Amino acid sequence: MKIVKFGGSSLATGESVAQAIQIILSDPQRQVMVVSAPGKRNTTDIKVTDLLIKYADLALKHKNCVEIVNKIFSRYQEIGHYFGLADAELSIIKQILLELPNQGYPNEKYLLAAFKAHGERLNARLITLILRHQGINSRFLDPAEAGLIVTGEPNDAIVNPESYLNLDQIKIKADERIVFPGFFGMTPSGNIATFSRGGSDITGAILARGFHADLYENFTDVNGIFAANPHIIEHPQSIKKMTYREMRELSYAGFSVFHDEALIPAIQGQIPINVKNTHDPSNPGTMIVPEKDFVPDNAITGVTSQKHFSALYLHKYLLNKEAGFTLRILQILYQHNIPYEHMPSGIDDITIIFNNDFLNDQLIDQICNEIQATINPDQLKWIEDYAIIMVVGEGMRQKHTISRQIIDSLGDHDISPQMINQGASQISIMIGTKKEKADEAVKIIYQKFFN
């Protein structure tokens, strides 16, 4: 059996929903369809999820919501009409939308989560109506009924392992299609909580593990995952096959086609993932598979950069002999609730790399002052506009010259890395550069290994 997830851009219009249905019907193994909320129809359009966030905001302020409800409903109505559904059949969607502010919620965060979740919940209902209208045996299965239990923050939930036991109990008939809304689950007390944005990928992976699927197909609007960002490299190659680990490293560093949290259930269930294009379903897309027996085609699978970092460089002679040096730095960071991303070190120096999202000027001054006073380094330098280039590939484990080749080719273009860190897994190399050099570095590395 296959779990097939469709993203919002694959379900934005009647035409694209028709394509998705055709994909489902073309393979009897495609029994479970996980749906996102309708996404953007064009670049200036607004996703239904974002309209629902607006609706939640207006409802919380007790403002008039007629216009926003009509706007949201019209998205579903447009798709329903495309398939010849009558307004009477669609009225349930409007009713549910109108009722949303009148349900009880423990607090504003839960209210927001419930509003957001209805983008997928109503879409799954709509698609079930469409399938039935076409005479297809189909069933809407809600996370509440399926026992998809989540804990954590109402808008950043995590799956509870009990869900897998519950999903295991669900019976699916051989000739039946299940339509399951992505993006949310139910808390132990019976409230809705959503995953982080883009979280329908996570639902797909949870169902793939819970239903012991043979394959998790993830349909988006591109031909799989590219080896580099198409905004930096013109027409980059798409990756045919990669391992879970490679995907994990690349999504950490900015590959956003597939939600990184969605990898975990797939890894736990050892279920291969196939990222495919709804508008070009015969294209093989990208397979993401277990590491066992994986034979890489290339030394490098992908290269990417992230630019939202800064770094603190500290130099002190005989640092390697001083017990507790790093501990004292970490204590200072901990007191200010600042996480760090990486901490490469040498015999006399250490660089601490931070995600800028957790910093502001005042905090930077404060931690630098405290570190100077407590540790008394010989040199303390704050490096702003730091970028990290990530080169990932299982193939690097066999080839030991990759880091030298990377450094040489960057050097040929006058880029001298500020930090090089090869992960213990040996499948990734992290290179720190100034932000303004990041795109050029990605181009150089891509040219070197892919052309």
**Contact footprint for ligand ASP (CB under 6 A):** 8, 36-37, 47, 49, 119, 182-183, 197-200
Phi, psi of 390 (to 5 degrees): -120, 125
Comparing CB distances to ligand ASP, the nearer of 8 and 377 is 8
Instruction: Answer whether 254's CB lies under 8 Å from 430's CB.
Output: no
Comparing CB distances to ligand ASP, the nearer of 126 and 338 is 126
User: Nearest distance from residue 47's CB to ligand ASP, in Å?
Assistant: 5
Comparing CB distances to ligand ASP, the nearer of 178 and 205 is 205
User: Nearest distance from residue 51's CB to ligand ASP, in Å?
Assistant: 11
User: Nearest distance from residue 199's CB to ligand ASP, in Å?
Assistant: 5
In sequence order, which residues have a C-beta less than 8 Å from that of residue 385 and are 6 or more positions away? 307, 310, 434, 435, 436
Comparing CB distances to ligand ASP, the nearer of 11 and 396 is 11
- What crossing angle do the helices spanning 66-82 and 108-133 adopt, rounded to 10°? 20
Comparing CB distances to ligand ASP, the nearer of 69 and 228 is 69
Comparing CB distances to ligand ASP, the nearer of 8 and 393 is 8
User: Nearest distance from residue 59's CB to ligand ASP, in Å?
Assistant: 19
Instruction: Answer whether 101's CB lies under 8 Å from 65's CB.
Output: yes
Helix (H) or strand (E) holding 389: strand 379-392
**CB-closest chain residue to ligand ASP:** 200
How distant, in Å, are the alpha carbons of 185, 205, 236, 276, 429 from that of 122?
14, 21, 36, 24, 44
User: Nearest distance from residue 8's CB to ligand ASP, in Å?
Assistant: 5
Integer Cα distance of 256 and 106 in angstroms:
32
Burial (0-12, 13-18, 19+ Cβ within 10 Å), 437:
buried
Comparing CB distances to ligand ASP, the nearer of 182 and 432 is 182
User: Nearest distance from residue 273's CB to ligand ASP, in Å?
Assistant: 15
User: Nearest distance from residue 2's CB to ligand ASP, in Å?
Assistant: 19
Comparing CB distances to ligand ASP, the nearer of 236 and 265 is 265
User: Nearest distance from residue 202's CB to ligand ASP, in Å?
Assistant: 8
Comparing CB distances to ligand ASP, the nearer of 47 and 75 is 47
- What crossing angle do the helices spanning 48-60 and 66-82 adopt, rounded to 10°? 150
Using the 8-state DSSP alphabet, how is residue 235 labeled? S
User: Nearest distance from residue 5's CB to ligand ASP, in Å?
Assistant: 8
Instruction: Answer whether 224's CB lies under 8 Å from 285's CB.
Output: yes
Integer Cα distance of 23 and 219 in angstroms:
10
> Rounded to 5 degrees, what angle do the CA atoms 279, 199, 23 make?
25
Integer Cα distance of 199 and 219 in angstroms:
14
User: Nearest distance from residue 238's CB to ligand ASP, in Å?
Assistant: 21
Comparing CB distances to ligand ASP, the nearer of 54 and 197 is 197
Q: What is the largest CA-CA distance in the chain?
A: 78
Query: Hey, is 331 helix, strand or coil?
Result: helix
Integer Cα distance of 90 and 97 in angstroms:
12
Q: Give the count of alpha carbons within 13 A of 15, CB side only.
A: 3
In sequence order, which residues have a C-beta less than 8 Å from that of residue 296 and are 6 or more positions away? 393, 394, 395
